[in-house]
Amino acid sequence: MKLPAFLARTLLVLGLLTPLALHAQPSEQQRLVDRARVVVDDFRGDPNFGTVAVYVQNAYGVVVAPNLVEGGFIIGGKYGVGVLLARDVQTGEWSDPVFVTLAGATIGLQIGGKASDMLITVMNEAAVTKLLDQGLKLGADASAAIGPVGGSLGTGTTTNFGEDVYVFARNVGLFAGLTVEGMAIVPKHDWNEAYYGRAVTPEEIIAGEVANPAAAPLREALAAF
69-83, 110-124, 132-146: range with lowest mean pLDDT: 69-83
- For the entire predicted model, the pTM comes to 0.80
Residue ranges of the domains in the chain?
Answer: 26-150+161-222
Q: Is the Cα torsion angle 52, 54, 56, 59 positive or negative in sign?
A: negative
Cα–Cα distance measured from residue 79 to residue 22, given in angstroms and rounded to the nearest whole number: 30
Give the residue from 85, 95, 34 showing the smallest Cα distance to 63.
85
Q: Is 146 exposed, middle or buried (0-12, 13-18, 19+ CB in 10 A)?
A: middle
DSSP 210: S
If you average pLDDT over every residue of the chain, what do you get? 81
pLDDT over 50 at 4, yes or no: yes
DSSP 138: B
Higher-confidence residue: 216 or 74? 216
pLDDT of residue 80: 85
